Chain A
Amino acid sequence: AQTVTQSQPEMSVQEAETVTLSCTYDTSESDYYLFWYKQPPSRQMILVIRQEAYKQQNATENRFSVNFQKAAKSFSLKISDSQLGDAAMYFCAYRSAQGGSEKLVFGKGTKLTVNP
C-alpha cells in the first residue's frame, strides 16, 4: 500500500519570504499522480498544484512550484513571496494511475503560518 509522509507538522514564514514544505511517499508503482491541496480555516480543500510522475519537468503555478524527485520519492512544495492568504493546512496526496484507482492517499498535513 502507498503511504505519504509529511514530516513537518507546522511551519512558519514571514510575509514575502519563501518556504518549502516537504513530502515523501512510498510506492512500488511507476506511474502515478501527486497533488498538493490547501485547506484554509474556511475548510474548503483547494487544489494548489499537481504533478504527473511520467513528467520530468517540475510543475509550477504562479508562486507555487514543486521539486519532484522521482528516484528519491520526494515531492516538496515551494511557496515564493508568501502572502497572508497562504496560511492554511497543506496536504500532500498520491493517486495511482492504474485504471479504476480513484483513491487519494493523503499525508497528515503541514500547518503553515504566515507572519506579517
Chain B
Amino acid sequence: DTEVTQTPKHLVMGMTNKKSLKCEQHMGHRAMYWYKQKAKKPPELMFVYSYEKLSINESVPSRFSPECPNSSLLNLHLHALQPEDSALYLCASSQRKVLFTDTQYFGPGTRLTVL
C-alpha cells in the first residue's frame, strides 16, 4: 500500500483567510514533504519533515506554515496568501531508512485558488 491522502481536493480562499491543508499516510514513513506545482511545471519542494522535525525549508514565505503533529500527519497552514500562490499543492512521503532508495510517494494534491 503506497497511499498518501490529501484534503481538501479543492480550496478557494480570499487573501485574508486562514486555511489549512492536510496530508496523511499510514505506511510508517518517517519523512514527509510539501511541494508546490504551477501549471505545466514540475513540482517545487517547499518543506521536508524527517522524523517529525523540519529538516528543509526552501526559503518559503512565512505565510506558509508547516506542521507535523505526528509521524502520519502533515499540515500546511495558510494565511494572508497572494493570488500568485494559487497552485497544486502536493504532499509526499518516504521511508527515510538508511540504505534504501527512499522513494517518495505522492498524494493526489490540493488545488488551491486564492482570490
Per-residue contact bits, chain B 36-68, to A (CB 8 Å; 1 contact, 0 not) = 000011110100101000011000000000000
Number of A residues, CB within 8 Å of B: 23
For the side of the interface on B, what is the size category? 20 to 34
The answer to whether A106 and B55 have CB atoms under 8 Å apart is: no
Shortest Cβ distance from B33 into A: residue: A102
Residues of B within 8 A of A109 (CB): 40-42
Residues of A within 8 A of B102 (CB): 33, 95, 102
A42 CB-CB contact with B under 8 Å: yes
* Chain B interface residues toward A at CB < 8 A: 2, 31, 33, 40-43, 45, 48, 50, 55-56, 88, 90, 92, 94, 96, 98, 101-109, 111
* Chain A interface residues toward B at CB < 8 A: 33, 35, 37, 42-47, 50, 52, 89, 91, 95, 99-100, 102-104, 106-109
